[in-house]
Amino acid sequence: MRRAGILLAVSFGLALLLVAYLFGFDGFFGRLVGATFVWFVLLGVTFLAVVPFVNWAADNWFGRSWAEHPTPQPARKPRAANTPKTPAGPKPTRYAPRSSANSD
């Protein structure tokens, strides 16, 4: 967990340095704060409104049995017993003699 935190901090620092180098410091932190605010608002709306609404809609529109019904697993076709799992090897190349019509 500590390594992930260090990696996150280094990546975030490098990203800030790159943006500051490319766009300068004029209004950089103002734009950064505004973008961070919008990001948190979008996350908040997603987890506080959209996810509960989808759960409510699945429960009320389709019924509780639909929401709690497990998804079926796709059926697998049985393998034939005599087929090898891997190919035997590459096919040998064919010998193609040169003809005088193909030469320059």
DSSP, collapsed to helix, strand or coil, labels residue 63 as: coil
Rounded to whole angstroms, what are the CA distances from 58 to 44, 54, 62, 63, 68? 21, 6, 5, 7, 10
For residue range 25-57, list pLDDT tens digits in order.
777 777 878 888 888 998 888 888 888 888 888
Residue 103 pLDDT exceeds 80 = no
Residue 104 pLDDT exceeds 60 = no
Alpha helices, H only, 1-104? 2-23, 28-45, 51-62, 64-68
Q: Per-residue pLDDT averaged across 47-74, rounded?
A: 80
Threshold 0.75, pTM exceeds: no
